[in-house]
């Protein structure tokens, strides 16, 4: 007997200015199952979820919940139908506290009709304790890292006790341990009969939890199949519409050049201590470690976002003082931040402007900016990274998550820096575009640039780096040469201390 799906979409169509984000989409979620959505950046995954959650209205088509046709005018409607969503773009008000954020819009009231803050406080404390999250209910969100906030969003969505839970890249910023916790939660929810819609660009993750997989391409449904009938290669082929020969570009073993960056005993309070590292021209060096090991903090200090307390930084052999971002950019050192929302983009500007932001100097002629050259250069870069946008004059904030990340990368790649600090550069980027980014990084290195790259995907570091430093608890615990690269060796060093 066929069970009635918890949720069903029939013939959904959605147009945005200049793009058809979805056409004739049909899709359903069965009780007690996980339905994974796959597709390249801009394929329409988030749009589909936002339609289910009442954020966007479809131009055509029908939504059914438990077999009944419904209209979702807004997220409150969706909540009334027991639908909750974890968003890909973490939208939060930095001034809110953890407890205010958790209970936003559903604060318990006392018998006088006032918000019962005492109850909010203990409910929050209980929830945090239950999930083993170490922050306090009255901590402001701006004090938390991206991964903390993502965890908070996860427990918040789960606490709604929804029947249909949408998770749009919930694990883009959290650690393996936290992913395991999330997957246990998903199993519990499934056992209770809930349906989960899950989006991720991490293929291994998808195959751990999917019951069904749907692949989208350019707003159209390519196929829906039970996960056990599929494998990673097939899904990738369906996503990109062609066979991908390799995931990483060929590595040439060139002898590294002179030292570009030398960091000696860099220390910052309790965040990291005595960090020593060298980057040579032409080298891609990885910085591995578990979440919270201090990798981001080191890179932020090098870029001048946070002050360091002691130690020295030398660029091309010369000692430099980095007090702010201007200092490091002035010395040819740039950083791609893991926190795109806070440091990466100017949302009210178009792609063109966001791309040119850091490299205007290079297209400056005697009479001002050479606009044609600027456009051609930007267009070439965006073609190369396969940025999906109606035009480069489109506001960056209306691009899909992965495409925004591509623009951020393009911005820094265009200013041809001497030293590139990359913090999770391929977060949220689809498999096809990842390859292009690895190729660009490799080419930059071949041109003599030095690259320091943080990634939580060990495979990625192993695939593109020449050397890897590993950090644990704020210290560098070891260094691996290419011939010693393996996940086990990295993990061994990451777990020291």
Ligand X SMILES: Nc1ncnc2c1ncn2[C@@H]1O[C@H](COP(=O)(O)OP(=O)(O)OP(=O)(O)O)[C@@H](O)[C@H]1O
Which residues are at the interface with ligand X (CB under 6 A)? 16, 19, 21, 39, 41-47, 88, 388-389, 398-403
Give the number of other CB atoms < 10 A from CB of residue 366: 5
Cβ of residue 219: shortest distance to ligand X, in angstroms? 7
Residue 489 binds which one of ligand X, Mg ion, none, with CB within 5 to 8 A depending on kind? none
Residue 398 binds which one of Mg ion, ligand X, none, with CB within 5 to 8 A depending on kind? ligand X
Residue nearest to Mg ion (CB): 46
CA distance 441 to 413: 9
Residue 21 or 363: the one with the smaller Cβ distance to ligand X is 21
Is residue 456 a contact point for Mg ion (CB under 5 A)? no
Cβ of residue 396: shortest distance to ligand X, in angstroms? 10
Q: What is the CA radius of gyration of the chain?
A: 23
Give the sheet arrangement for strand 68-70, strand by strand. 19-29, 7-16, 60-65, 68-70
Residue 389 or 442: the one with the smaller Cβ distance to ligand X is 389
Residue 338: name the closest of 191, 444, 185, 457 by CA: 457
Residue 356 binds which one of Mg ion, ligand X, none, with CB within 5 to 8 A depending on kind? none
Residue 406 or 449: the one with the smaller Cβ distance to ligand X is 406
Residue 388 or 411: the one with the smaller Cβ distance to ligand X is 388
Is residue 88 a contact point for Mg ion (CB under 5 A)? yes
**Can you read off the two tokens belonging to residue 93?**
């008000």
Q: Is 80 strand, coil or helix?
A: helix
Single out the segment in contact with Mg ion by CB under 5 A; choices: 15-23, 84-92, 389-397, 408-416.
Answer: 84-92
Residue 119 or 398: the one with the smaller Cβ distance to ligand X is 398
Residue 417 binds which one of Mg ion, ligand X, none, with CB within 5 to 8 A depending on kind? none
Residue 56 or 300: the one with the smaller Cβ distance to Mg ion is 56
Q: Is 144 strand, coil or helix?
A: coil
Residue 86 or 290: the one with the smaller Cβ distance to ligand X is 86
Cβ of residue 401: shortest distance to Mg ion, in angstroms? 4
Tell me if 286 sits within 8 A of 325, measured CB to CB: no
Cβ of residue 42: shortest distance to Mg ion, in angstroms? 8
Cβ of residue 263: shortest distance to Mg ion, in angstroms? 36
> Counting Cβ atoms within 10 Å, is residue 68 exposed (0-12), middle (13-18) or buried (19+)?
exposed
Residue 19 binds which one of Mg ion, ligand X, none, with CB within 5 to 8 A depending on kind? ligand X
Residue 46 or 389: the one with the smaller Cβ distance to Mg ion is 46
Cβ of residue 48: shortest distance to ligand X, in angstroms? 7
Cβ of residue 47: shortest distance to Mg ion, in angstroms? 8
Tell me if 474 sits within 8 A of 273, measured CB to CB: yes
Cβ of residue 138: shortest distance to ligand X, in angstroms? 33
Cβ of residue 215: shortest distance to ligand X, in angstroms? 11
Residue 197 or 322: the one with the smaller Cβ distance to ligand X is 197
Which of positions 396-435 make contact with Mg ion (CB under 5 A)?
400-401
**Of the residues 23, 33, 46, 214, which one makes contact with Mg ion according to CB under 5 A:** 46
Q: Is 54 strand, coil or helix?
A: coil
Is residue 294 a contact point for Mg ion (CB under 5 A)? no
Bridge partners, residue 381, by sequence: none
Residue 41 binds which one of ligand X, Mg ion, none, with CB within 5 to 8 A depending on kind? ligand X
Residue nearest to ligand X (CB): 402
Tell me if 34 sits within 8 A of 14, measured CB to CB: no
Give the number of other CB atoms < 10 A from CB of residue 161: 11
Contacting positions for Mg ion (CB under 5 A):
46, 88, 400-401
């Amino acid at each position: 007997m066929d069970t009635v799906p918890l949720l069903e979409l029939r013939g959904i169509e959605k147009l945005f200015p200049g793009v058809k984000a979805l056409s004739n989409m049909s899709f359903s979620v069965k009780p007690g199952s996980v339905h994974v959505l796959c597709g390249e950046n801009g394929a329409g995954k988030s749009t589909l979820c936002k339609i289910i959650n009442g954020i966007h209205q479809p131009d055509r088509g029908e939504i059914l919940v438990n077999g009944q046709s419904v209209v979702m005018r807004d997220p409150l409607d969706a909540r009334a139908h027991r639908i909750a969503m974890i968003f890909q773009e973490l939208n939060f008000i930095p001034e809110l506290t953890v407890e205010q954020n958790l209970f936003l819009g559903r604060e318990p009231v006392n018998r006088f009709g006032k918000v019962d803050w005492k109850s909010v406080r203990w409910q929050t404390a209980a929830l945090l304790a239950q999930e083993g999250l170490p922050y306090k209910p009255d901590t402001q969100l701006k004090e938390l890292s991206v991964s903390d906030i993502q965890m908070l969003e996860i427990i918040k969505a789960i606490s709604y006790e929804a029947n249909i839970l949408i998770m749009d890249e919930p694990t883009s910023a959290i650690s393996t341990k936290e992913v395991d916790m999330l997957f246990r939660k998903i199993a519990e929810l499934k056992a209770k009969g809930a349906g989960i819609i899950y989006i991720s660009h991490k293929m291994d993750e998808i195959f751990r939890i999917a019951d069904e997989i749907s692949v989208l391409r350019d707003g159209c449904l390519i196929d829906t199949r039970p996960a056990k009938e599929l494998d990673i290669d097939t899904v990738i082929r369906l996503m990109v519409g062609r066979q991908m020969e390799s995931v990483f570009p060929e590595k040439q073993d060139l002898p590294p050049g002179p030292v570009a960056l030398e960091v000696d005993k860099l220390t910052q309070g309790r965040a990291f201590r005595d960090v020593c590292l060298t980057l040579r021209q032409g080298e891609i060096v990885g910085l591995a470690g578990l979440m919270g090991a201090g990798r981001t903090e080191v890179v932020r200090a090098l870029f001048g976002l946070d002050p360091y307390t002691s130690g020295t930084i030398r660029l091309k052999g010369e000692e430099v003082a980095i007090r702010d971002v201007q200092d490091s950019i002035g010395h040819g050192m740039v950083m791609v931040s893991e926190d795109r929302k806070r440091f990466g983009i100017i949302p009210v500007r178009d792609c063109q402007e966001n791309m040119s932001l850091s490299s205007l100097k290079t297209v400056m002629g005697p009479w001002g900016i050479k606009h044609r050259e600027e456009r051609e250069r930007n267009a070439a870069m965006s073609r190369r990274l396969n940025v999906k946008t109606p035009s480069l004059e489109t506001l960056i904030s209306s691009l899909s998550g992965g495409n925004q990340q591509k623009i951020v990368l393009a911005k820094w790649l265009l200013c041809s820096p001497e030293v590139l600090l990359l913090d999770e550069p391929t977060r949220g980027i689809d498999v096809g575009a990842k390859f292009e980014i690895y190729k660009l990084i490799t080419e930059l290195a071949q041109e003599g640039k030095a690259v320091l790259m943080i990634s939580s995907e060990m495979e990625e570091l192993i695939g593109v780096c020449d050397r890897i430093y590993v950090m644990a608890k704020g210290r560098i615990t070891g260094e691996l040469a290419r011939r010693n690269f393996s996940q086990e060796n990295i993990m061994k060093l990451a777990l020291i201390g």
